[in-house]
Structure 1
Amino acid sequence: MAAPKVDYSVYLVTDSTPAILGDADLASVVEQSLQGGVTIVQYRDKHSPRDHVVATARKLHQITQKYNVPFLINDHVDVAAEIGCEGVHIGQDDMAFEEAKRLLGEGKIIGITASSKEEALKAASQGATYLGIGTVYATSTKKDTKSIIGPVGVSSILAALAAEGHGALPTVCIGGVNASNARDVMRQTVSPRKTLDGVAVVSAIVAARDPAAAAREIQGAVIGAKIPEVILSIARKGPLSHNMTNLVVQNFAANVALAIGASPIMANYAEEAADLAKLGGALVVNMGTVTPDGLKNYVQALQAYNAAKRPVVFDPVGAGATAVRRSAVKTLLASGHFTLIKGNEGELQTLHGVSVTQHGVDSTSTLSLAQKARLARDLARTHAAVVLLTGKTDIVSDGTRTLRVDNGHELLGMITGTGCTLGTTVSAALAAHGHVDPLVAAVAGTAMFGVAAEMAAARSEVRGPGTFVPAFLDELYLIRKASADGDMRWLTMVKVQAVEVQEA
């Protein structure tokens, strides 16, 4: 039995020493960090008696289980086997990998520390579940550091892993990583061949006055740093973006798809869907024009893509405008599963069962940012989908992680179909990267779209909506081309932050 799929984005390593933990309660710190978005927890205690380690491990494991987050124990393989947690992390001077695997049994996570190419390749060949690479920067939490390898050292290890066929092995970096440098560390390792899956942090969360806020800040930095990986994946794969949309935006949507490196097809006849779904792309169901025949086509195409296990984007345009549209929304939601649901405030409120009267497809904002975040989070949980709530600030949520994207320009609102073409952009990102992390794919597509708008609006030749459109297409293309050439300067404009979602 293989180890479970794990999100390594924000990896918490605990430290119970007074210098780091102070007088805080470790269990409380871990729970707060999980509430903030920590995705995996490692309990590290090299000095306490075994009975204390066992008791603390049991307590922490009960907490992580509430959040469905893997719990690992550092070094104490016997304790991990005794309490039945998800796995262990072992260093170069700890128990041998084969012995740890024998004690734990199949299906457990076994991570290994690697500070050099040789150590990394040996651990990969042994069958490590993931690698903890470092130490990146000098740190007070680990005194037995062999060497400080820096981001360049991390990058060289990743390159060696990829060259030897271990490109799929998950990796995190550790050592002095915090919210201020996490994004830079991950960006400096971006390449078409292999990137970091996350960062491991100790004092940045354990010693924080607000562990939940610290975890959210790091989560936002890590997800933001993964954006280039998605953009490069679109350019490399050229995925199909199958748009079932209205005539008003078909040409614009096709041009946007081509600009970002996707392959567009505007096909509203669902008899083609089963064949198109086999081509490895994604479907956009855009409810811009609702007719009885059109609705039947949407349902058939949705089910064809579901059967092929390919991503589907739902854009419930004007969902609250008429009884016909409200009925169509119910039919579609009951007919299959959507990977991502995209809409403005009014449209998503309608999906959530709130009575909203829309004048056309536009939405007047009445909700606060906190209310929008809760709406997106709740809808994501209800429909087991990523939800993209569009507006001046875009909110993206998968029901667990919720982020805001503050990129874009007011000229987007003066062009017919920009909301629809955002759906096209996100569909390409999902087709290329959705199997890895659909939330990251959605954030990347949204951020790229918004940054391109800002760059286009800043051009000297742009005087209004008419001159904005060609400039916008150019900037989407230029972002894609620059990324492929290794020029990531556009990333400095990306504004992505994790959001705290408060209960009503």
Structure 2
Amino acid sequence: MAVDYSLYLVTDNTPAILGQKDLVQVVKEAVEGVGVTIVQLRDKTSETAELVRIAKDLHKVTRQHNVPLVINDRVDVALAAGVEGVHVGQDDMDLATARKLLGKDAIIGVSANTIEEAEAAARGGADYLGIGALYSTQTKNNIKNIMGTSGAQKILEHLVANDLDVKTVCIGGINAATAQRTIYQSATPSKSFDGIAVVSAIIAAEDPRAVASHLRHLVATPPPFATSTTTAPLSRADILSRVPALVKRLAEKKPLCHNMTNLVVQNFAANVALAVGASPIMSNNSLEAADLAALGGALVINMGTTTPGIREEHLRALAAYNAVGGPTLLDPVGAGATEQRRQGVKALLAAGYFDVIKGNEGEIRTVSGASGVKQHGVDSGASNLSIDQRARLVKQIAARERNIVLMTGSTDVVSDGRRTFTIENGHEFLGDITGSGCTLGTTIASFLAVEREDKLLATVAGILMYEIAAERAAQKPAVNGPGTFVPAFIDELYAIRQESSKGQNEWIQAAKIQEA
């Protein structure tokens, strides 16, 4: 039978999740209307006779709405209740035996937590795979591995590479807040999840029908932040012709740039935002984030002075901007320096979507998941990678996260996973002042607010404006070192903005950018 896996409900009869509600009534409400498309009865506590009774009662409901019902683990219960199939885990009855007992027309799903498990189940004839756990969840305490979207993406890539055509659903911590981002960031160019599996999101809901309908809508709709639709080539000539116009558009629109940045550079970042033409607000209060996100600007999350309390503010603000598709930039300052910062990066990447991640080599290697990264404070330290290695790493992370990744250094490397560039502009004085990396993030975020269709172009525009301004400032006769450089640098940012507004675009000819 043709099965729609869009919204897969796994039941839970424990008081902590179900409460005092009647399970059959909850499932009835969830499958009504545009709701749940397949149901799994998971019950680890009831005796066999009681389990068969519950299965038959549920089947009366699901059959009325043409929704398949499968039983977790128990092939005997599935046969006794006459339902459509079973779902087996890695420690349950093997797939071949289940198929022999249930027949070729039964729906049989298999849990997969690794590439090897997924391949074995697909080759063995599973109708679908339940891939997870994506995130930690209160409904299961025996999870072998929290894979996140990157782990799920690797499994989907492997299935495609080996011509294994099998349906897939993601499970583990999936709810209205995570559904769209999970599908979006797990997807490969040729395969994405066929649906989401949820437990407490519906079982614990006060209004299961409304929640199920909302989840179906989310599954069928791209996330608000998925606005970068271009796959067109972006040549050096394209950049030289388009960046000045983008600088002019930024000056005309004066977009809001919301900085949740470290205390050391707030004043500097605000002045840089004003110089490039943005309207800055420096607020670490996440209670303001929803109102600010509604104004159409961009968010910078900078980990420079992180604490557990500030991390929670960052997470709430990120959720507010993701909800409306507001551009977001992560600057994981000193990510490899301490365990607290490493855990902070993991928490932020697991909690939401960033359009751009920018950092030095040590920070980006930490974002990649590399172990043993050592940073002296917020400095990158000595480079351990060649330019080619840096380009490959940046491209790999960008493809994994489906965003833009920028690794700064004497040569910057930036990629969207398909198009990759190196940029060699800038000046050594930028490394001798506090906050130059942080304020580059502010500049890029300002461009993201006005150019949402090609986020790589927006990022490149921010880098070039910022670093060419630094080169011009360092050449001023009055600049003798870092102290005199800062005001001249802000002046040159403003000057480039003014020149671009007047159509005087000669400044862009200083761009040292090449395809990598």
Give the TM-score of the pair, scaled to structure 1. Answer: 0.56
User: Is the aligned partner of 1:475 residue 2:492?
Assistant: yes
Name 1:83's counterpart in structure 2. Answer: none
User: Is the aligned partner of 1:462 residue 2:484?
Assistant: no
Name 1:153's counterpart in structure 2. Answer: none
Name 1:369's counterpart in structure 2. Answer: 387
Name 2:345's counterpart in structure 1. Answer: 329
Name 1:443's counterpart in structure 2. Answer: 460
Q: What is the alpha-carbon distance in structure 2 between the residues aligned to residue 311 and residue 419 of structure 1?
A: 19
Gaps of 5+ in 2: 1-187, 191-229
Q: What is the alpha-carbon distance in structure 2 between the residues aligned to residue 225 and residue 495 of structure 1?
A: 14
- 1:15-414 residue pairs with structure 2 within 5 A? 219-355=235-371, 356-363=373-380, 364-414=382-432
AA of the residue aligned to 1:396: V
Q: What is the alpha-carbon distance in structure 1 between the residues aligned to residue 241 and residue 501 of structure 2?
A: 16
* 1:259/1:474 contact within 8 Å kept: yes
Name 1:431's counterpart in structure 2. Answer: 449
Q: What is the alpha-carbon distance in structure 1 between the residues aligned to residue 338 and residue 383 of structure 2?
A: 19
* 1:220/1:403 contact within 8 Å kept: no
Name 1:418's counterpart in structure 2. Answer: 436
Q: What is the alpha-carbon distance in structure 2 between the residues aligned to residue 393 and residue 280 of structure 1?
A: 32
Q: What is the alpha-carbon distance in structure 2 between the residues aligned to residue 463 and residue 392 of structure 1?
A: 21
Q: What is the alpha-carbon distance in structure 2 between the residues aligned to residue 255 and residue 449 of structure 1?
A: 13
Q: What is the alpha-carbon distance in structure 2 between the residues aligned to residue 67 and residue 403 of structure 1?
A: 21
User: Is the aligned partner of 1:486 residue 2:510?
Assistant: no
Q: What is the alpha-carbon distance in structure 2 between the residues aligned to residue 404 and residue 448 of structure 1?
A: 15
Secondary structure, in 3 states, of the residue corresponding to 2:434?
coil
Q: What is the alpha-carbon distance in structure 2 between the residues aligned to residue 462 and residue 370 of structure 1?
A: 35
Q: What is the alpha-carbon distance in structure 1 between the residues aligned to residue 306 and residue 231 of structure 2?
A: 43
AA of the residue aligned to 1:393: T
Give 1:224 deviation, angstroms: 3.3
Secondary structure, in 3 states, of the residue corresponding to 2:294?
helix
- Seen in structure 2, the aligned counterparts of structure 1 residues 484 and 313 have a Cα distance that, compared at 3 Å, is same
- C-alpha offsets along residues 326-373 of structure 1, whole Å, 9 cap, x if unaligned? 011110000000000000000010111112011101112121100110
* 2:333/2:378 contact within 8 Å kept: yes
* 1:341/1:387 contact within 8 Å kept: yes
Name 2:20's counterpart in structure 1. Answer: none
Q: What is the alpha-carbon distance in structure 2 between the residues aligned to residue 471 and residue 340 of structure 1?
A: 28
Q: What is the alpha-carbon distance in structure 2 between the residues aligned to residue 278 and residue 297 of structure 1?
A: 18
- C-alpha offsets along residues 230-250 of structure 1, whole Å, 9 cap, x if unaligned? 211111110011000111100
Secondary structure, in 3 states, of the residue corresponding to 1:396?
strand
Give 1:388 deviation, angstroms: 0.8
Name 2:133's counterpart in structure 1. Answer: none
Give 1:395 deviation, angstroms: 0.8
- Seen in structure 2, the aligned counterparts of structure 1 residues 198 and 313 have a Cα distance that, compared at 3 Å, is closer
* 2:240/2:509 contact within 8 Å kept: no
Secondary structure, in 3 states, of the residue corresponding to 1:279?
coil
Give 1:458 deviation, angstroms: 0.5
Give 1:221 deviation, angstroms: 2.1
Secondary structure, in 3 states, of the residue corresponding to 1:226?
helix
Secondary structure, in 3 states, of the residue corresponding to 1:392?
coil
Name 1:107's counterpart in structure 2. Answer: none
Give 1:324 deviation, angstroms: 0.5
Q: What is the alpha-carbon distance in structure 1 between the residues aligned to residue 305 and residue 278 of structure 2?
A: 24
Give 1:316 deviation, angstroms: 0.3
Larger Rg: 2
Q: What is the alpha-carbon distance in structure 2 between the residues aligned to residue 221 and residue 367 of structure 1?
A: 28
AA of the residue aligned to 1:424: T
Name 1:194's counterpart in structure 2. Answer: none
Q: What is the alpha-carbon distance in structure 1 between the residues aligned to residue 456 and residue 239 of structure 2?
A: 9
- C-alpha offsets along residues 461-503 of structure 1, whole Å, 9 cap, x if unaligned? 000000000000000000000000110110111111111xxxx
AA of the residue aligned to 2:334: G
Q: What is the alpha-carbon distance in structure 2 between the residues aligned to residue 303 and residue 67 of structure 1?
A: 26
* 1:404/1:496 contact within 8 Å kept: yes
* 2:245/2:500 contact within 8 Å kept: no
Identity %: 56
Q: What is the alpha-carbon distance in structure 1 between the residues aligned to residue 501 and residue 492 of structure 2?
A: 14
Secondary structure, in 3 states, of the residue corresponding to 2:414?
strand
Give 1:403 deviation, angstroms: 0.6
- C-alpha offsets along residues 262-312 of structure 1, whole Å, 9 cap, x if unaligned? 000000000000000011100000000111110000000000000011100
Q: What is the alpha-carbon distance in structure 1 between the residues aligned to residue 367 and residue 499 of structure 2?
A: 38
